Amino acid sequence: MTAFLGVDTGGTFTDFVLWREGRIRVHKLLSTPQAPEQAILQGIRDLGLEPEDLRIVHGSTVATNAVLEGKGVKTLFVTNRGFADLLSIGRQNRRRLYDFQPPAPALPVPRELCIETGGRLSAQGELLEPVTEEDLRVLLATIEEHRPGAVAVNLLFSWLDDAAERKLAAALPQDVFVSLSSRVLPEIREYERGMATWLNACVGPLVQNYLHRLQQGLRGSRLSVMQSSGDTVAAGQAGEQAVRMLLSGPAGGLVATGHLGKQAGREKLLSFDMGGTSTDVALIDGEPQLTTEGRIGGWPVAVPMVDMHTIGAGGGSIAWLDEGGMLQVGPESAGADPGPACYGRGGSRPTVTDANLLLGRLLPGAFLGGDMSLNVDASTAAMEKLAAAMGTTGREAAQAVIRVANEHMARALRTISVQRGVNPAGFTLVSFGGAGGLHVCALAESLGMQQAMVPVHGGVLSALGMLVAPPGRQLSRTWLAPLDTLREKDVQDALDRLAAEALASMEAEGISREQCSVQGSLDVRYQGQSYTLNIPWSSIAGVARAFHALHARRYGHSMELPLELVNLRTAMRGAALPVQPVMAGKGKPGSAFEYCAVHGEQQPVPCFSRDRLVAGQEIQGPALIAERVATTWLAQGWTCQVDGIGNLILERRASVFVE
């Protein structure tokens, strides 16, 4: 029987969730950043699996890391004459409004790699300047001189007619990766379209090579990759659209969060995924929200991706003092090698994980189910160096590190809730990732939230999301027109053409038409505005009503102005795997397997094994709940109940005031 394996490669750990014959098995091991496929192949061997019997869905950080570290391939940027500085100029938005002498940002593309050519169209699609033989000769000579690994072609108004871009691509050498803006993002706004095309080009060869190496080691298996939009695509198609993988791993966590939240009867969720390197936060109201205004490493990414906010705060985040003596945590991380000091792999700087260990919130002998023992002495030595500089004790320094890390994460959660007019008090805080459960109570308290949830398999939730995510495609095309001048049949026909394109891609993956659902939508704005709101397609009048209502809800007002259609969008999804988490056990409630000292608690704290908890069991905080891939710290004033699936439902008890 075919086994289904979700794999999430993170900065510190690689996570595995195996689903076979109705049962789930999880695994976690240290990542191998220089060759991520090595950890994946090792994990498959650890699980005793044969590639021939596997269907794998993978969340990869190859594209993300290449962008964040500036290690994409050398890329030639080709555009129309007079627009060589397009990506360097950008939108001229200031990162700090009142800084009148900001440092010059790094150029995305060196000037010598920006080539101007013909093929210019007018805003109406008329050819103003053709691509000449001389243009092609200059382009080929530049490629011969600089030997780029990829070429990004971004011509003005190519979304109206892609003939010039296709002509340039046909003249390029076969061994060069080519990214055309008319294929990557056929939408208005040449800067955002150009950035997406350039990002796709500079990481595309890396993604293709990585997936090829992985497939070589997995001969006989069927490999798919998670996209930033929360749906999957066959590995053979992923390399050409590498820019759509920039949030590959985090998207899996949001898909699983929404899936488990529905099963638990909770659809208003604030999620935070705290791993070893970073923390991703998001707001889910029924379904994970998508955005086309995301950013990676400071660059705008206009392709659809899950709407989340990421900060450099994770279990491996390093604590340090700045020049003014202020305690800082992150964004630098100890990563997987050497990792936090307690890993015993040569790390000597204190991290958030070291702080949790010294405070007694991690059990040294229970880490990774006992497969990896944590070195308390190494953590103590690292933290005491920081404490000496702070003029305090090691444990007090550790407590300060936790407070600073918590404030970073609370600020991020406020960014995606309070700053958007959403009161988090009406939501459930969902924590996952290897370190999330250690901080969930403190974060909920800081946001005034009364309920939280630590999902079943929360330590590997992104890998679980790989399995429950459906295959899908998100396609778009610009169509500028006053909304009230359009005929509904013309809009529907245009959406149908997009759907047919998406379906052809799905069928090439072996997914039949009968398995697919489709949802069309329109990007609409008031005439004269720059930005849009996305409205599900129903009818012209229905879209207009929905736009005014959403604008009023989002911005507090609506206007009596004509509306303009900007983009058509189609979301197509196939059937997801019928993966269900293991139901919580029944019978005698599990008891504490030991009591341990936790800093700040007067009495020893009970430690429970999550595997032995049963449905309906209640635990009063303070307590530690350990599992193979994570630990949950149930703080004083909180209670925990195990639901029928195995999720930990946390509730904050009413405060007791004593006169």
Query: Are 194 and 228 in the same domain?
Result: no
Query: Are 186 and 74 in the same domain?
Result: yes
Query: Are 483 and 612 in the same domain?
Result: no
Question: What is the model's pLDDT at position 311?
Answer: 81
| Final residue in a domain of this structure, among 352, 384, 405 | 405
Query: Does residue 244 form part of some domain?
Result: no
Question: What is the model's pLDDT at position 411?
Answer: 93
Query: Does residue 44 form part of some domain?
Result: yes
Domain with 510 in it: what CATH number? 3.30.1490
Six token digits for residue 501: 């394109």
| Final residue in a domain of this structure, among 379, 405, 431 | 405
| Final residue in a domain of this structure, among 573, 607, 640 | 573
Please return the burial class of 86, using the count of CB atoms within 10 Å of its CB with bins 0-12, 13-18 and 19+.
buried
Q: Name the residue with tokens 């555009």.
A: 79
Provide the edge-to-edge strand list for the sheet that holds 54-59.
Answer: 23-30, 13-20, 3-9, 54-59, 222-226, 232-234
Query: Does residue 58 form part of some domain?
Result: yes
Does the predicted TM-score (pTM) go above 0.75?
A: yes
Question: What is the model's pLDDT at position 658?
Answer: 37
Query: Are 87 and 197 in the same domain?
Result: yes
User: What number of other Cβ atoms are within 10 A of residue 552's Cβ?
Assistant: 12
Question: What is the model's pLDDT at position 582?
Answer: 65
Paired with 16 in beta bridges are: 7, 27
- Report, as ranges of residue numbers, the positions in the chain whose pLDDT lies below 70: 1, 336, 368-371, 582-585, 654-659
Query: Does residue 298 form part of some domain?
Result: no
Dihedral sign, CA of 444, 460, 629, 330? negative
Query: Are 376 and 398 in the same domain?
Result: yes
Query: Does residue 499 form part of some domain?
Result: yes
Six token digits for residue 166: 């296709």
CA atoms within 13 A on the CB side of 254: 30
Looking at the structure of the chain, the number of domains it has is 5
Query: Are 115 and 201 in the same domain?
Result: yes
- Containing structural domain, residue 343: 317-405
Is residue 135 helix, strand or coil? helix
Q: Name the residue with tokens 């892609």.
A: 162
Is residue 234 helix, strand or coil? strand
Query: Does residue 569 form part of some domain?
Result: yes
C-alpha dihedral (525, 527, 529, 532), degrees to nearest 10: 10
Query: Are 194 and 150 in the same domain?
Result: yes
Domain with 35 in it: what CATH number? 3.30.420.40
Query: Are 23 and 88 in the same domain?
Result: no
Query: Does residue 581 form part of some domain?
Result: no
Query: Are 96 and 54 in the same domain?
Result: no
Distance CA 51, CA 56 (A): 9
Q: Which residues contact 519 (CB under 8 A, 6 or more apart)?
A: 536, 537, 570, 571, 572
Query: Are 541 and 598 in the same domain?
Result: no
Distance CA 158, CA 210 (A): 30
Question: What is the model's pLDDT at position 657?
Answer: 37
Distance CA 118, CA 206 (A): 29
Query: Does residue 79 form part of some domain?
Result: yes
Query: Are 75 and 203 in the same domain?
Result: yes
Domain with 76 in it: what CATH number? 3.40.50
Query: Are 511 and 535 in the same domain?
Result: yes
H helical segments located in 154-247: 163-171, 181-184, 190-217, 235-238
Task: Report CA 503 to chain centroid distance, whole Å.
Answer: 25
C-alpha dihedral (81, 87, 91, 92), degrees to nearest 10: -100
pLDDT tens per residue across span 368-394: 666 678 899 999 999 999 999 999 999
